[in-house]
Chain A
């Protein structure tokens, strides 16, 4: 079984496939990210895969075509070189009106670049997380068909395919230099299938796809350090946006382990409100206004049924995710059991989500958006809920399964919620806010945090009020404007975090506790470290050096999982992880602002004296 970081991702804004260095599609869920899998070899060798690679031994290298999500894997054998191009076709709206295009298609093109290469493909679909061994049927010119309960899979290829027992098809072809073979796997669940012909139409689909991605990247505004890493992160993030609703899923996979062989395996194919503010800032910051607007609309729409209470996570259409259950028949990624689908964190209480959602809406307004009266009432109701609940305990940002506590980060995010509501009111976007109530509670939260979350003996803010432990999420106190990154308290907190949670090359663990023993350094926390330096806790040079070192820790195609093993550099956890790439983008944006001498985030951070005076 290939490792997590040995994979690259292709997708079309509704589903994503993970392709290994060996040319195998090891993960694919259709029709959407959280649907049951078609291929799941990433979590069990018998749960389906599709290989397209030379029959002879090879070494491989790969890259994305510049500014696209089109993957090219180059196989070098003793007799020649073969390039396999993998992509899910995308098209502009005008092209969709003009052309009949499949809803779901994965295209693979193999071109012999040099010498002679024998190509081999092995197609083993195992729908429903490997539980179904479909019967393959040869439908002649219509390809190989596998009718499943979920829909129809059609594999078409311009090389001969033979159906073997146990739902498997294989094909071989000897390619001379310059020759190409095309393969298309499509899925139809609701309509008669669209079956695109192979050959020139496949190459046109590739050209359309490349054009579409490059036009999308053309909107990106960023000229700071690590531009390639930022572009790749934006492209990875875009692959995790569910286009029909604007939701951003946390990752494309479930149950890739935070510790190989361990049980820290969760389903991340849902949308966490926790990620909202950071994601919206990343999208607006890079100039992707449509995606940012769509995500804010999804936030407001998805939370409507539960307001004024907010759930921790939702599915791509704003429904509660399915109940968490384990798939006992799957062996797990390199023995990491159990494999879970659904997510039990949905039942947790996280008070920080109020601040994250309201801050995301504030970014939207700062970028020129307006709020209708219903949304204004909804925001005020969220503010009322914060005033009622901020003193309570919650599970906190990291969703530990060990119980509730008074988490500093959650409390600061309650402060953020009220602070942003007051900002929106002051700017005329919130007509009937209970200003006095919000101001009183905001001041009370600040006092509470400053008095009880600051540990003078340690010289740092702590993860929980009155506690001794540290948490990298404390770095966000500067991000949300609760503390100035240049303040003595913030610098001291950052120093303690680096001291206690730091690993090599700027990597940071999120915390050190019994909740997650043996997990790797956390991707986004590490980028928070680079960002807090950029915001003023360190020099610009130090921020840049840290950022660039972290960027070099991606896999060979620029992708990050949730975590990294600081010892081996191995990617850990679900993949690719939106949160990590959001962290990279935000750190880059803050660094770019710092290097240009611009003001950091537009969060106002009034001097403490002024705040105390106001509170008095």
Chain B
């Protein structure tokens, strides 16, 4: 594995993904904000949550990109469309299983069945994160496909 290439393009891909998701939020296509959702796991303060969540999101992006890189190394090739395909699978996993289990992991997220409590008041994402807007899955799919495409296009295989 080419560690330098992974660190660089994992970082770039995460920044682009974050930018696309923030763009869809700014354009009112969705209310999903992954850094905020991650940050509120640690603090209720809105401002600190955004900052902390961004850092956690960045590390997450790097870690996830490791899986992409492992796949490229296993296949012996890395192309933008292979990366995009992994990205779509990644997004599908996040939107289905990931969003379903999030209320169980998140200490401040309300549950769909029991409603909010004193400690759990954050709106849960629901299936495909549709609670955050009907266009949320499309934005997430696009962002993750671009994330994978960047890694696939620019990551240099260890033997390459």
Residues of A within 8 A of B (CB): 96-100, 139-143, 145, 147, 149-152, 154, 156, 188-197, 200-201
Contacts and interface: CB of A to CB of B under 8 A. Distances in A.
A176 B146 CA distance: 60
Given A190-B31, A191-B36, A192-B31, A96 B115 contact: no
16 contacts: A141-B111, A141-B114, A141-B116, A147-B133, A151-B28, A154-B123, A188-B31, A189-B28, A191-B36, A192-B37, A194-B121, A195-B121, A195-B123, A196-B116, A197-B117, A197-B121
B28 A150 contact: yes
Q: Which of B111, B114, B122 has the most CB of A within 10 A?
A: B122
Contacts of B124: 142
Nearest to A139: B112
Interface in B111-135: 111-118, 121-125, 131-134
Contacts of B134: 147
Q: Which of B45, B46, B113, B121 has the most chain A CB within a 10 Å cutoff?
A: B121
A192 B132 contact: yes
Contacts of B94: none
Contacts of B5: none
Interface string B42-85: 01111010000000000000000000000000000000000000
B106 to A, nearest CB: 10
A141 to B, nearest CB: 2
Given A192-B132, A194-B122, A143 B115 contact: yes
Interface in B8-51: 25, 28, 31-33, 36-37, 40, 43-46, 48
Contact of A97 (B25, B44, B112, B115): B44
Interface in B83-121: 108, 110-118, 121
Nearest to B109: A192
Contacts of A188: 31, 123
Contacts of A140: 112-113, 115
A192 B115 contact: no
Interface of B: 25, 28, 31-33, 36-37, 40, 43-46, 48, 108, 110-118, 121-125, 131-134
B24 to A, nearest CB: 11
A191 B121 contact: no
A147 B114 CA distance: 21
A189 B28 CA distance: 7
Contacts of A156: 115-116
A197 B120 CA distance: 9
A291 to B, nearest CB: 22
A197 B118 contact: yes
A581 to B, nearest CB: 31
Contacts of B117: 197
A142 B112 contact: yes
A97 B40 CA distance: 11
Nearest to A194: B121
Contacts of B116: 141-142, 156, 195-197
Interface centre among B45, B113, B134 (most CB of A within 10 A): B45
Contacts of B44: 97-100
A281 B28 CA distance: 40
Given A142-B110, A197-B118, 9 more contacts: A99-B44, A141-B112, A141-B115, A151-B31, A156-B116, A191-B36, A193-B31, A194-B123, A195-B116
A195 B115 contact: yes
Contact of B115 (A142, A145, A189): A142
A106 to B, nearest CB: 16
A217 to B, nearest CB: 26
B113 to A, nearest CB: 6
Given A97-B44, A141-B116, A192 B32 contact: yes
Given A151-B31, A192-B37, A100 B108 contact: yes
Question: Lowest 7 A-B CB distances belong to which pairs?
Answer: A141-B115, A193-B123, A97-B45, A195-B116, A100-B44, A192-B123, A197-B116
Contacts of B131: 139, 142, 145, 192
Contacts of A196: 116, 121
Contacts of A149: 28
A99 B121 CA distance: 10
A141 B113 contact: yes
Contacts of A143: 115
A150 B29 CA distance: 10
B48 A97 contact: yes
Contacts of A201: 118
B127 to A, nearest CB: 12
A201 B121 CA distance: 11
Contacts of B25: 190
Query: Max chain B CB contacts within 10 Å: which of A100, A142, A145?
Result: A100
B133 A192 contact: no
Contact of A141 (B36, B43, B110): B110
A202 to B, nearest CB: 11
A559 B106 CA distance: 45
A154 to B, nearest CB: 8
B33 A192 contact: yes
A519 B36 CA distance: 51
Contacts of B28: 149-151, 189
B46 A96 contact: yes
B48 A152 contact: no
A150 B28 CA distance: 7
B45 A192 contact: no
Contacts of A142: 110, 112, 115-116, 123-124, 131
Contacts of B122: 100, 192-195
A96 B45 contact: yes
Nearest to B40: A100
Contacts of A147: 133-134
A151 B133 CA distance: 9
A147 B133 CA distance: 7
A192 B36 contact: yes
A195 to B, nearest CB: 4
A198 to B, nearest CB: 9
B129 to A, nearest CB: 9
A156 B117 CA distance: 13
Nearest to B25: A190
Contacts of A98: 44-45
Contact of A189 (B31, B37, B48): B31
A21 B12 CA distance: 58
- Indicate the member of A152, A194, A200 with the most B CB atoms within 10 Å: A194
